[in-house]
Amino acid sequence: MIIPTYNEKDNLDELVQRIFRSLSSSGPGPEIVIIDDNSPDGTGARADELAKTHNIKVLHRSGKLGLSSAVMEGFAAASGDILVVMDADLSHPPEKIPEMARQIADGKAEMVVGSRHVPGGSIENWPFYRKLVSKGATLLARPLTKVKDPMSGFFAIKRSVVEGVKLDPVGYKIGLEILVKGKYSNVVEVPIHFANRKAGQSKLGGAVMLRYIDHVTTLYEHKRFWLAKYLKFAFIGGIGAVINLLVLWTSVEVFNVYYLWAAVLAFVIADTNNFIWNRLWTFKSKGKIRFQYPQFLLVSADGLMLNLIILWALVEQILPDLGLPQDRASFYIVIAQVIAIFLVSIFNFIANSLWTFGEDVRRGK
């Protein structure tokens, strides 16, 4: 058990009791590693006291050096093969530890997350603001992992998951860091009820939020899959454009179709092609086609609207202001359309990533 503490003196006794009680019947019993950052309230001394009668190691650090680095030092100091990280403030139910550890012991997973966002999980009445922040933060992490509650501070791992892995202690969310960088093939979520902290004060603040954004963007770069996926998406889009022109030309020239109907037909055929290849290749999706196909068409139709708006804005407003020669009207339009297509492709890519093929993105593949 890895437990970072900063000013948690009033929670420590109950926490330790509940941990030992929940694990008393299973195996050799737990080892607790408490990493205290010289808490002014005397948490460290209380931990030393408890260590006299329980299997507890206490690491004293010189000052508040941060949550993630505390957890990492805890990993290094722990002697077990299954490592469980939890907060000291009794938000996380110690009674769930056996269930989480068992998943690992039975080989069902190498990482287990105590989750508030799977069926059976819940959160004790949070104020609207905190819910909003948590929701936003979870959304930001969505492209990185399939896990529904990647923000959870309550998780268990097999030691091999982090062995030899270079973890970066920038963030507050060491669980997310491990989900992205750790070596595992299976992760499962066990539902938990998240209680409000029993005693003491939260260490969350504005700076934590900014550091989180920094952390998440670093993890995006670490994954680098956005760029790779976007390039696939753009490549397929390019082929789609050629198909569009071919269908348009053939319909009008060979079959005498009214050109606007031909354009609609060209759009649908080209976009169907794009859908098929993006589903198979870019997003490797196994989702339901009857939902995804109309979603994809709808995103493309919105993209077309956006294209017209951006094109208009560039031709009428933005490019003339840059002082380009006015007499080359068609040159203007082509330049503007190149920019518009680029922006629309990003819009389409993001909308399809998060919405049409959202499930797959969450799976992190």
Ligand X SMILES: Nc1nc2c(ncn2[C@@H]2O[C@H](COP(=O)(O)OP(=O)(O)OP(=O)(O)O)[C@@H](O)[C@H]2O)c(=O)[nH]1
Selected from 35, 111, 176, 299, the binder of ligand X by CB under 6 A is: 35
**Cα–Cα nearest to 174, from 122, 113, 223:** 113
6 in contact with ligand X (CB under 6 A): yes
280 in contact with ligand X (CB under 6 A): no
Residue 70 near which of ligand X, Mg ion, none (CB within 5-8 Å, type-dependent)? ligand X
Which of 93/364 has CB closer to Mg ion?
93
Which of 91/278 has CB closer to Mg ion?
91
Residue 145 CA to residue 202 CA, distance in Å, equals 26
Q: Please, what is the angle between helix 259-277 and helix 289-313, to 10°?
A: 120
**Cα–Cα nearest to 100, from 92, 86, 111:** 111
Return all residues near 232 (Cβ < 8 A) that are at least 6 apart: 278, 281, 282
**And the tokens for 17?**
């009791």
Residue 127 CA to residue 74 CA, distance in Å, equals 32
87 in contact with Mg ion (CB under 5 A): yes
**Residue 304: its H or E element:** helix 289-313
Which of 194/349 has CB closer to ligand X?
194
Residue 8 near which of Mg ion, ligand X, none (CB within 5-8 Å, type-dependent)? ligand X
Selected from 23, 75, 78, 89, the binder of ligand X by CB under 6 A is: 89
37 in contact with Mg ion (CB under 5 A): no
The stretch among 76-84, 196-204, 221-229, 321-329 that binds ligand X (CB under 6 A) is 196-204
Which of 36/110 has CB closer to ligand X?
36
193 in contact with ligand X (CB under 6 A): no
Half-sphere exposure of 240 (CA within 13 A, CB side): 22
Residue 229 CA to residue 232 CA, distance in Å, equals 5
Which of 122/202 has CB closer to ligand X?
202
- Which residues sit at the interface with ligand X, rule CB under 6 A? 4-6, 8, 35-37, 64, 66-67, 70, 87-89, 91, 153, 197, 202-204
